[in-house]
Structure 1
Amino acid sequence: MLRAAARDRLIARDPSEGVKLPRIRRAQHAMQIPSPDAVSAAMSAAPDWFRLYIALCAFAGLRLGEASGMQLGDVQFLKRQMHVGRQVQRAGAGKIKVTPPKHGSERDVFIADELVAMIARHAEEIGVRGDEQWLFVGPFGDPPHQNTVGYWWHKTLAAAGLESFRLHDLRHFYASGLIAAGCDVVTVQRALGHAKATTTLNTYGHLWPTAEDRTRAAAADLMATSCGLSADSEAREATTSA
């Protein structure tokens, strides 16, 4: 913006020219991905109404504001998918505002049967609120904003005896699971609601197998096929040789 303003002669010069940017930590060092055991412990310790909230972050990759903005009508039970079309943001003094999700983030998320059943159970046992059928509500009857969610998240971590990690880290947990299952960049991008595939690669590129990993795996398959060896027989031969 400053460079454009200087080109258009709205300002005499770009005041940011020559400014050094702070060093950014590599994604693999800055990112914290909770273990499946930690996620399980958090869900077990969570209050009944909050358990689904955690599940939407961990098993559907929703951001906090997106999870807070979910309505029962967003879930297509027979198709096993949910539509992410809004987010909840703070508006000061405990108030909220409901807005469209981040640019490029509106999406349909394909969800597991178990999560579909969990949503149905939540609607039946916990219930929904208001004409909009909000899945979650805060202390004033509106969808919960970041402060309310943060309060319950820290209570849950304490009850589970877990070291502190962010609720947003469950989104990393979801992404890492998709990548480990062999999903490609575009699939992960769409599931997370990233506007560009480069955002996905910049954030999670270190989690994908490297060229060396793929080369070794392909070579191992070729060798097993050509030599008539199974993985079990190769393992036995390696053990015997050792």
Structure 2
Amino acid sequence: MRYYDRAGKLKSEVSPNKERAESRRTELEASLSAGTYVDPGLAKVTFAEIAEKWLDTRHDLKQSTWWKYRGLLDNHVNPKWGDLSLNAIISEDLAVWVAKLLKDKKDGGSGLGPSQARHAYRVLAMVLEWCTPSRIPVNPARGIKLPVQPDAEQVYLTYEQVERLAAAAAALRTKYDRPTASAAINKAFILVLAYTGLRWGEAAALRVGRVDLDKRRIRVATTFYEVGGVQHEGLPKTGKRRTVSFPASLVPVLRPLLDAREPNELVFTTARGQSLRSHNWRTREFVPAVTAAKLKVDGLTPHKLRHTAASLAISAGADVKVVQQMLGHADAAMTLNIYGHLFPDRLDEVADVLDARRADALLNLAAA
């Protein structure tokens, strides 16, 4: 069977029998008429080849995200789909693959958690979507049922717990009875995390010139992240800079770390003047401080101090837009999804105000 594609090129196909040939003719005529025709030859390229091209085009990604996608492709996606042509990937097989990602390794699975499995699926789906409809008519990854990601257990410290943790971190000493590498800055660092909501990498990358003690403002312009054990500095998670305020009581805590220092110097460094590293600080400073402060709080991590900041701000009367700006969320919906349960139930308060104003209106009408 011969036909002309949308570009006017002569194509030919061979069918095993007359019935299949007629069916294919009808299918081709319909797709050419509707403008949905896809050259079958374009779908014969392997998934791995297309995935490389797709990744090469993603100049919009942060470096850390790019490498995350690179790792997911290399470790979980390409081993299964890399050698297959695009037209050989079908929805049923994708559903089985997603389920297998969650199985324990001893049962032949990948042993991933729901979150990581969803990330692996998402990368595969994005590559296939990039090929639709230029190489494949529809994306076979659409509609795949994904594992439910359980809600993370939130941890919120009280003011007293924050202060105990900060004090314990400042008093940490090594087995040689010398201050730990970050003991000198631990108190200020923890208080900034707990009262401003900065992400760990944002606080670690904070420069002297971005802290205004008079106005009590911090300009969040960059963050630290690690790729393959190498520390990099880039834009904050959402790609947007922001300004946050901090309590006046932190001014005397921060001042010694800022005075007589150059604007581009890091506020928080080790005793040797090196930048903080996430894993080292957590294991050598934060965890021992939690133990020393005798905080019996399950699941307490440095990131939970960000949740603490949100909780304390909400209890102090901050509305959702203020909390969104403070935390640097992309939109208020994200803030509500995470912290909506912390906002007070103001239904009765609103109803009482409506009652009072209605009563005033009725009095005015009666007096008129």
- Indicate the TM-score class for this superposition, using the shorter chain for normalisation: 0.7 to 0.9
- Judging changes above 3 Å, is the alpha-carbon distance between structure 1 residues 224 and 138 closer, same or farther for their aligned structure 2 residues? same
Q: Name 2:269's counterpart in structure 1.
A: 137
Which residue does the alignment assign to 1:153?
A: 286
Change (3 A) 1:196 1:121: same
Aligned mates of 1:4, 1:79 — CA distance in 2: 48
Comparing both chains, which one has the higher relative contact order based on Cα–Cα distances under 8 Å and sequence gaps of 6 or more? 1
State how far apart, in whole Å, the 1-side matches of 2:263 and 2:246 are.
25
Report if aligned partners of 1:138, 1:145 keep a CA contact under 8 Å in 2: no
Cα distance in 2 for residues equivalent to 1:142 and 1:99: 18
Change beyond 3 A, Cα 1:6–1:52: same
For 1:194 and 1:140, locate their aligned partners in 2 and report how far apart those are by CA, in whole Å.
Answer: 34
- The reply to whether residue 103 of structure 1 matches residue 103 of structure 2 is no
Structure 2 residue 305 is matched with structure 1 residue 170: yes
Equivalent residue number for residue 196 of structure 1: 331
- For residues 25-40 of structure 1, the aligned pairs below 5 Å read 25-26=150-151, 30-40=153-163
Alignment of 1:9-88 (within 5 A): 9-11=134-136, 13-26=138-151, 30-47=153-170, 48-88=184-224
TM-score (ref. length: structure 2): 0.53
Judge conservation of contact 1:194–1:200 (CA < 8 Å) in 2: yes
**1:200 counterpart letter in structure 2:** T
Contact 1:74/1:83 (<8 A) preserved? yes
Q: CA RMSD in A?
A: 2.8
> Amino acid of the residue matched to residue 333 of structure 2?
T
State the aligned residue count.
218
Which residue pairs with 1:235 in the alignment? none
SS in 2 for 1:7: coil
- Return the offset for 1:72: 1.2
1:62 deviates by: 0.7
Which ranges of structure 2 fall in alignment gaps of 5 or more residues?
A: 1-125, 171-183, 358-368
What is the CA–CA distance in structure 2 between the aligned matches of 1:83 and 1:200, rounded to whole Å? 20
| Unpaired segments ≥5 residues, structure 1 | 226-242
Which residue is equivalent to 1:240? none
State how far apart, in whole Å, the 1-side matches of 2:258 and 2:130 are: 52
In structure 2, relative to structure 1, the CA distance for the partners of 1:42 and 1:81 (3 Å cut) is same
1:8 aligns with 2:141: no
**Rg (Cα) greater in structure:** 2
| SS in structure 2 of the partner of residue 172 of structure 1 | helix
Distance 1:131 1:222 in 2: 52
- Distance in 1 of aligned mates of 2:355 and 2:143: 55
Distance 2:133 2:275 in 1: 44
In 2, Cα distance between equivalents of 1:3 and 1:224: 59
**In 2, are the aligned partners of 1:88 and 1:143 still within 8 Å (CA)?**
no
Q: Are the counterparts in 2 of residues 2 and 15 from structure 1 also a CA contact under 8 Å?
A: no
Alignment of 1:118 onto 2:118: no
Checking the alignment, whether the CA contact within 8 Å between 2:132 and 2:139 is kept in structure 1 is no
Structure 1 residue 137, shift from structure 2 partner:
2.0
* Partner Cα distance (1:155, 1:21) in 2: 38
Cα distance in 2 for residues equivalent to 1:119 and 1:183 = 24
- Deviations 1:123-159, CA, capped at 9 Å, x for gaps: 45xx86x873211224774311211221211111121
Report the AA paired with residue 34 of structure 1: L
Which consecutive segments of 4 or more residues in structure 1 shift more than 6 A? 221-225
Instruction: Supply the distance in 2 between the matched residues of 1:223 and 1:20 (Cα, whole angstroms).
Output: 48
1:57 and 1:63 in contact (8 A); partners too: yes
Q: Percent identity?
A: 31
Counterpart AA for 1:38: Q
CA–CA distance in structure 1, aligned partners of residues 287 and 140 of structure 2:
42
Q: Name whichever of 198-207 and 2-11 sits farther off.
A: 2-11
Aligned partner letter, 1:25: P
Equivalent residue, structure 1, for 2:20: none
Query: Shift of residue 204 of structure 1?
Result: 1.0
**Distance in 1 between residues matched to 2:351 and 2:138, nearest whole Å:** 57
Given that residues 210 and 263 in structure 2 are in contact (C-alpha distance below 8 angstroms), is that contact kept between their aligned partners in structure 1? no
